[in-house]
Amino acid sequence: MDKQLIFKSKYLNKLKGEVQSGLLIDHYKSNLFIYDKTQTLMLPNIITAADLADQLDVNDDCKTAILLYEAFKNLEPIQASDERLWTYLTHVDLYSYMIRRWDAVYNSSSKDEAKYIFEHWFLQSSSQSSLLRHALAGLWWAVSLSVEENKGPEKYDLTKILFRQLDFPTRTLGTYKLGRHKEAVIGILEFIKENDDLFTTNFEDKTRYITKHLNIIGGVKPISYYKRDFFKAELKKITLSIQAL
Amino acid sequence: MKFTEISFPHPVLGVLDAIDSKISLFPEPEIKSNVDFYHITIFFNHDNNDLLELIKIGSAEYFCDVTCSNTLYRKIFTSKDGRMEFEIAKKAVRGRVEFTCLILTTVDIDYTNTNSHVDYYSYIFKLDQGDVLAYFGEFDFDADIVYEKLKAVTSFMEVVENENLTFPYIDLKKSKIEIQLPSQSFKIYCNDLISQEIKYSPIFHSSFVLNALLIALYNFDSHRDFLWARVIEYRLKNDFDLLALSIQEVENIPEIAQKLLGNPFNRLLEGLLQISESTIENE
């Protein structure tokens, strides 16, 4: 079994420079991204996910996220936040998925092609919000934050709630400091699951509201101290406000 | 939590003048690094008897919240005494790792503090489990910095090839200060007779390395987020020889550069003397 490859840092910077200058943009309109195969390193403890690109579903982010997470389950946090890995995956192993899921440059419909490529193919920085917004890293981390390994076949039930609307993991919950505390994420998702009738309408507005509300509580209380029941209890107190949205 | 911007409904030691007692992280937190872990020791220091009593009876505890935005790491550590020790796996963090040190309630309590400000007199505060009683402050360290190798110039600078150049270029927008050489110059530089020859290193240090470092230091403020600047900042704060030299004072920069490179002018002169003596011997 082949070991997973990543780009060398210098090559990654070269790619960025050439996208910035416009030199490389036409490469993203091709069915195969041409890259310098000598500019890679091996991750010795991670096995490459053969045929993963063919299994990913451009119409189902949750399914894709779970498949991606399963394929790279053994990533350590320091590897899962490594720009060299995610950029290699977007450009090589999962390129065929990328041009189907984020196709604006591929089909020449993007107004700012360099910006579009940077937003989807590269990590903008190594911060939490950048990781969660990345086309692949964001999916992996969203599953990592919501999976409950001890729940057997139901272990992805909360992940499925998180992915009801892509902005919830990638723009709302995931980008707040709150999103770094798994107990908070689980607490919020369990509250949604247990009060499903509350969230049948205006899911996006409501999830934004509850995330903001808990973030305000985090301004005066040390969020990381609390378990999931604390967050559920806090949300229960504002049930009427959620209902009114 | 931004403690400097919060006025709590109850008195919190360490926030404004809510409680008249001493509080600090003293001695300074220790961060030691081994192959797989960072070993952290924190000394919570205060002299508030009411809080000491709450901790003694188990109604409060020392608490440290550790976060790393780059790896979504968030973990808490607690202790019943003022010395807290714990480890963080190196594979769990990248870049800035931040610590917030507090005392929290461990149960719901009715709270008063004998040393609190007069504004709080005669009130009894109903606190929930997890409420903040004291704020010792925050600190951080940079997991990208290899502390054991900080003395080496290679911790903040490197020489690379740039085939598009005719003249050398100093690039400060990289994790290390990059001295970019045109291909022809780079090939000469890489020749073992030059780059691997230890007696020439003072010549490199006092020529293009010093030049590049000076350019970097004069542009330090606008590049603070880059790894090279964080490495140099760490050395400015921790090297005994550099402590008295503020980088904000521009006239200090030549001396800072000389000290960071271990007095390259002097080493250059000594090196030239050595080369000249060995040449005479060979003749």
Same-domain pairing of B140 and B165: no
B196 or B88, greater pLDDT: B88
Instruction: Identify the band that residue B149 occupies on the pLDDT scale cut at 50, 70 and 90.
Output: low
Query: What is the rounded average pLDDT of the residues A103-113?
Result: 95
Q: Is the dihedral of CA B235, B238, B240, B244 positive or negative?
A: positive
Instruction: Identify the band that residue B242 occupies on the pLDDT scale cut at 50, 70 and 90.
Output: confident
Tell which of B93, B128, B144 closes a domain: B144
Residue type, position B251, single letter: E
pLDDT above 90 as % of chain B:
54
A69 in reach of chain B (CB within 8 A): no
CATH number of the domain encompassing residue B73? 2.60.40.10
Strands B23-25 and A40-47: unpaired
B191 in reach of chain A (CB within 8 A): no
Q: Which residues of B touch A179 (CB under 8 A)?
A: 72
B277: which residues sit within 8 A by CB, 6+ positions away?
none
A44 in reach of chain B (CB within 8 A): no
A218 in reach of chain B (CB within 8 A): yes
Same-domain pairing of B179 and B231: yes
* pLDDT of B198: 72
User: For B167, which DSSP code?
Assistant: S
Residue type, position B173, single letter: K
- Least CB-CB distance to B1: which of A144, A179, A218? A218
* DSSP-derived secondary structure for A23-89: TTGGGGGSSS----TTSEEEEEEEE--TTHHHH--TT-HHHHHHHHHHHTTT--HHHHT-HHHHHHI
CB contact under 8 A, A224 and B2: no
B131 in reach of chain A (CB within 8 A): yes
Interface of B with A in 165-184 (CB under 8 A): 174-175
Strands A3-7 and A40-47: antiparallel
* pLDDT of B277: 75
Same-domain pairing of B95 and B171: no
Distance, in Å, from the CA atom of B272 to the CA atom of B276, rounded to the nearest integer, reads 6
Tell which of B122, B144, B166 closes a domain: B144
Distance, in Å, from the CA atom of A222 to the CA atom of A101, rounded to the nearest integer, reads 39
- Least CB-CB distance to B8: which of A77, A220, A222? A220
How buried is residue B103: exposed, middle or buried, by Cβ count under 10 Å (0-12/13-18/19+)? buried
Query: What is the rounded average pLDDT of the residues A110-128?
Result: 91
Nearest chain B residue to A177 by CA distance is B69
Instruction: Identify the band that residue A186 occupies on the pLDDT scale cut at 50, 70 and 90.
Output: very high
Whole-number average pLDDT of chain A: 93
* pLDDT of A169: 86
* pLDDT of B194: 75
Compute the CA torsion angle B90, B92, B96, B100 (nearest 10 deg). -110
Distance, in Å, from the CA atom of A198 to the CA atom of B126, rounded to the nearest integer, reads 32
CB contact under 8 A, B130 and A10: no
DSSP H helical ranges for chain B? 49-56, 183-190, 192-195, 201-204, 210-218, 227-238, 253-260, 264-282
Same-domain pairing of B73 and B31: yes
Q: Cα dist. A245→A171, A185, A207 in Å?
A: 20, 21, 10
Same-domain pairing of B90 and B74: yes
Write out pLDDT tens, residues A151-184: 999 999 999 999 998 888 888 887 778 888 999 9
Residue A6 forms beta bridges with which residues? A41
How buried is residue B161: exposed, middle or buried, by Cβ count under 10 Å (0-12/13-18/19+)? middle
Same-domain pairing of B20 and B138: yes
- Least CB-CB distance to B91: which of A9, A77, A222? A77
The residue written with tokens 């689980």 in the block is A186
Write out pLDDT tens, residues B57-109: 999 999 999 999 999 999 999 999 999 999 999 999 998 999 999 999 999 99
Residue type, position B19, single letter: I
Distance, in Å, from the CA atom of A81 to the CA atom of B71, rounded to the nearest integer, reads 6
A39 in reach of chain B (CB within 8 A): no
Contact assessment for residue B25 and residue B45, using Cβ atoms and an 8 Å cutoff: yes
Compute the CA torsion angle A15, A18, A19, A23 (nearest 10 deg). -130
- Least CB-CB distance to A126: which of B6, B63, B70? B70
* Domain assignment of residue B177, given as a range: 148-282
Query: What is the rounded average pLDDT of the residues A236-241?
Result: 96
Interface of A with B in 97-126 (CB under 8 A): 126
Same-domain pairing of B12 and B133: yes
Distance, in Å, from the CA atom of A28 to the CA atom of A6, rounded to the nearest integer, reads 19
Distance, in Å, from the CA atom of B108 to the CA atom of A237, rounded to the nearest integer, reads 19
Helix B253-260 and helix B210-218, axial crossing angle in degrees, nearest 10: 130
Nearest chain B residue to A174 by CA distance is B72
Same-domain pairing of B264 and B167: yes
Same-domain pairing of B138 and B180: no
Same-domain pairing of B277 and B165: yes
Distance, in Å, from the CA atom of B67 to the CA atom of B1, rounded to the nearest integer, reads 12
Interface test with A, best of B67, B69, B105 (most A CBs within 10 A): B69
- Least CB-CB distance to B92: which of A78, A127, A141? A78
Instruction: Identify the band that residue A88 occupies on the pLDDT scale cut at 50, 70 and 90.
Output: very high
Residue pairs spanning A and B at CB distance below 8 A: 78
* pLDDT of B270: 81
* pLDDT of B281: 63
- Least CB-CB distance to A222: which of B71, B73, B104? B104
Same-domain pairing of B131 and B261: no
Distance, in Å, from the CA atom of A159 to the CA atom of A67, rounded to the nearest integer, reads 12
Distance, in Å, from the CA atom of A122 to the CA atom of A101, rounded to the nearest integer, reads 15
For residue B202, is pLDDT > 70? Answer: yes
Nearest chain B residue to A181 by CA distance is B74
Same-domain pairing of B87 and B167: no
Tell which of B113, B144, B175 closes a domain: B144
Reduced to 3 states, what is the DSSP secondary structure of residue B25?
A: strand
Instruction: Identify the band that residue B162 occupies on the pLDDT scale cut at 50, 70 and 90.
Output: confident
Report residue A86 CA to chain centroid gap: 11
Distance, in Å, from the CA atom of B168 to the CA atom of B160, rounded to the nearest integer, reads 10
Distance, in Å, from the CA atom of B44 to the CA atom of A239, rounded to the nearest integer, reads 40
Interface test with B, best of A215, A224, A228 (most B CBs within 10 A): A224
Q: How many residues does chain A have?
A: 245
Long-range own/partner contacts, residues B159-167 (CB < 8 A, 24 or more apart): B159/B186, B159/B189, B159/B208, B160/A10, B160/B186, B161/B186, B162/B186
Write out pLDDT tens, residues A38-53: 999 998 889 999 899 9
- Residue among B172, B162, B70, B92 nearest A83 (CA): B70
* pLDDT of A62: 96
How many CA within 13 A on the CB side of residue A66?
19
* Number of domains forming the structure of chain B: 2
B44 is written with which tokens? 């919570």
The residue written with tokens 């704060």 in the block is B237
